[in-house]
Amino acid sequence: MVRVNRRGQLVLVAAAVVALALVPVVAAYLQLGYAPGSGTTVEPRPGADAARLLSRAVARAPVVADHDWADRAEGIAGVRDALAPRLEALRTARLAGGTATVVSYAPDVADSWAASRCPAGPNRQFGACRASDGIVVQERDGHTHLVAVAFAVRVVSESRTATVTVVAER
């Protein structure tokens, strides 16, 4: 009677299982692009944090639809009042770390945005867009709707100064 030693086959199967288990780890390592000891850091784009905060602030701004189109100046003033605390928070956010952020409205950018990107089309029965000191509103069914706000953001730190323009759409 011949005895068959299956120990070698068991070791081979175990090695195959371990190799298969390592495949996702290797794939994740390659996808992350980890480069040990490179010593380089990627500096974030200037104003990226400000752009995110401003986009969220505009998205959360009050809907001005309770104002008739003729009273759109009141709705625009309400949007400015709602955005003021966010702009102040952005201005003072990183002062202790040596970075100052100056945010202002960009009326010229808002004017050109309203002229070129105002929502329109055959299935949209909207009125014209109007820009007022950086805030773009549109007449929809006789009411005022906030469409976008244009900002000029200047980020000043010890190492550099950068100016970016942000148009936060609603």
Q: What backbone phi and psi angles, to 5 degrees, belong to 55?
A: -65, -45
Residue 110 CA to its chain's centroid (Å)? 18
Per-residue pLDDT at 106:
96
Give 131's DSSP letter.
Answer: E
- Hey, what are 85's tokens? 């605390």
Report whether pLDDT(40) > 80.
Answer: no
Per-residue pLDDT at 131:
95
Task: State the Cα–Cα distance between residues 132 and 117, nearest whole angstrom.
Answer: 16
Task: State the Cα–Cα distance between residues 91 and 51, nearest whole angstrom.
Answer: 13
Q: How confident is the model at residue 44 (pLDDT cuts 50, 70, 90)?
A: low
**Span 102-123, mean pLDDT?**
91
For the segment 20-32, what is each residue's pLDDT rounded down to a tens digit? 888 887 777 777 7
Per-residue pLDDT at 36:
56
For the segment 71-107, what is each residue's pLDDT rounded down to a tens digit? 999 999 999 999 999 999 888 887 777 888 899 999 9
Report whether pLDDT(138) > 70.
Answer: yes
Closest CA to 167 of 142, 148, 144: 148
Per-residue pLDDT at 135:
95
Per-residue pLDDT at 13:
82
Close Cβ partners of 11 (under 8 Å, ≥ 6 residues apart)? none
Per-residue pLDDT at 123:
80
**pTM recorded for the entire structure:** 0.71
| Residues, the chain | 170
